Amino acid sequence: MAQENNIQASAPTPDIGPVAEHRHEKLAFPEGFLWGTATAAYQVEGNNEHSDWWQWEKDNPTRVRARSGLAVDHYHRYEEDLNMAAELNTKLYRFSIEWARIMPHENAIDRHELEHYGNMLRACRVRGIKTMVTLHHFSLPQWVAEKGGWEWPGAARAFRDYARIVAAEYAGQVDYWLTINEPMVIVSQGYLTAVWPPAKKNYLSAYAVYRHLIAAHKEAYKAIHEAAAKRGITVLVGAANNLISLSTYNRHRFADRWYSWLMDKVWNHAFIDATAGCHDFLGVNYYFHQRIDPGKKRIMGVIVDIREEQRDMSDIGWEVFPAGLFDALLDFSNYKLPIIITENGIATRNEDRRARYIVSYIKELYHAIAAGIDVRGYCYWSLLDNFEWEKGFSASFGLIEVKQPSLERSFKPSAKVYAQIAKENGIPHELLRFVGHEAKL
Ligand code: NOJ
């Protein structure tokens, strides 16, 4: 015992300055921070029969696990769903307008559908929920797809015309506009990995699509601002970017560093840099962390397959890595624009895991804000279980469970955790027990 004390006394004490005490206090967020949820039209509405995905599902039954069909019939049940969003204490709802509903055919505008989304905006407003509207969330009108989709040189102009129509219709009713959801995912899923329509593996097409998406964002950004200016109001317009937190596998190897730098430039920054000046805020969809190692047998040649490492993962094999959110936000803070987390969430049927996910990721967000990063809001993906593209209904992202085929809704247990955070505008100390693996006292 005496010997132990001696060892302690002689150990050098590094000077690391004052260390914050562990306090049993809430991790409080800035006043007015927006807690929200997100969905996308094609994934929840049902019967989007004028969209390219509808045709794709029909023509490629083996490439999708299920047809979207009625999805979760949000088109008819949005009032009930918004009641539940309000019960969760959320004050922001991100949803998308289905382009193919507004313009089912070239040069045709469907007034009835314009009214439908107008009703949704009003339904949010009366419940005290702010709105964030995405104009393009992966699905295109079939007539646009038939002309070549985003590869068609006229696509950006067509998108601008659509943006002009909806911006004029809803001026003053939308709090945040998002032009395009995850432009780089559109390029990669449709033209590189080719798992989504039009499933073309072609670098030249991918590059053309990338350029047209840039043009489309700029055109729509201008069109939305012009429509607002005509009414003498101002609007906030951005895009939702999928960010990957990238690390090297071995930071002493030049090749690892070079590939991870390149991937960061291309995936995380190229679109924003090419559309500089056309973002009033930055939308961040955060799900992924990847380690880069161009050495051995890797996914796509460079991505380390973490299944070998036995880490905590979602049902669809995505790594749970909360610190990556901090890294991604730190990286994006260099643009000196306000940031909103437009998506973050987990596909799991294990409610303890979802609760842990929510608390741990939001805790990283808390630290990011404490580090001076200007984050204004957070949308959990998703309000409801929904149609997860080629995975059909197998991925369970929702805070609300939707039974198939009855479509009956009910809160999942983890929804209570999110509702409490939203209500208290922070993480109450007792919820910090969810940080860590299966912590139980
Ligand atoms: C991002 C996409 O925007 C959304 O459509 C998708 O469902 C979620 N990620 C989960 O994969």
- Does any ligand 1 atom lie closer than 6 A to the CB of residue 40? yes
Distance 196 CA to ligand 1 centre (A): 13
Asked, for residue 75, whether it belongs to a domain, the answer is yes
Number of domains in the chain: 1
- Rounded to whole angstroms, the Cα distance separating 395 from 390 reads 10
Asked, for residue 309, whether it belongs to a domain, the answer is no
- Residue closest via CA to ligand 1's atom 6 equals 388
In a 13 Å sphere around the CA of 225, the CA atoms on its Cβ side amount to 13
pLDDT tier at 301 (50, 70, 90 boundaries)? confident
Collapsing DSSP to helix, strand or coil, 75 comes out as helix
Q: What is the pLDDT of residues 367-418, one digit of tens each?
A: 999 999 999 999 999 999 999 999 999 999 999 999 989 999 999 999 999 9
Which of 98, 318, 381 has most ligand 1 atoms within 8 Å of CB, for mutation? 381
Contact 134, 94 (CB under 8 A): yes
- Residue closest via CA to ligand 1's atom 5 equals 40
What is the pLDDT at residue 295?
Answer: 76
Asked, for residue 332, whether it belongs to a domain, the answer is no
Asked, for residue 315, whether it belongs to a domain, the answer is no
**What sign for the dihedral angle of Cα 360, 361, 366, 367?**
positive
Contact 97, 135 (CB under 8 A): yes
What is the pLDDT at residue 64?
Answer: 98
Does the annotation mark 182 as catalytic? yes
Distance 284 CA to ligand 1 centre (A): 12
Q: What is the pLDDT of residues 111-158, one digit of tens each?
A: 999 999 999 999 999 999 999 999 999 999 999 999 999 999 999 999
Which of 136, 313, 388 has most ligand 1 atoms within 8 Å of CB, for mutation? 388
- Rounded to whole angstroms, the Cα distance separating 335 from 325 reads 16
Answer whether the bond into residue 198 is a cis peptide, omega within 30°.
Answer: yes
Answer whether the bond into residue 405 is a cis peptide, omega within 30°.
Answer: yes
- Residue closest via CA to ligand 1's atom 10 equals 388
Query: What is the residue-averaged pLDDT of the chain?
Result: 94
* Host domain of residue 194: 28-245+340-434
Q: What is the pLDDT of residues 308-327, one digit of tens each?
A: 888 899 999 999 999 999 99
DSSP lists the bridge partners of residue 178 as: 134, 238
Average pLDDT over residues 6-35: 76
Asked, for residue 90, whether it belongs to a domain, the answer is yes
Residue 4 has pLDDT above 50, yes or no: no
What is the pLDDT at residue 103?
Answer: 98
Q: What is the pLDDT of residues 71-120, one digit of tens each?
A: 999 999 999 999 999 999 999 999 999 999 999 999 999 999 999 999 99
Run of H or E residues at 377: strand 375-381
Residue 17 has pLDDT above 50, yes or no: yes
Distance 254 CA to ligand 1 centre (A): 33
Distance 222 CA to ligand 1 centre (A): 26
Average pLDDT over residues 332-361: 97
- Residue closest via CA to ligand 1's atom 7 equals 388
- The CATH number that applies at residue 230 is 3.20.20.80
Beta strands 426-427 and 27-28 are antiparallel
Asked, for residue 430, whether it belongs to a domain, the answer is yes
- Does any ligand 1 atom lie closer than 6 A to the CB of residue 285? yes
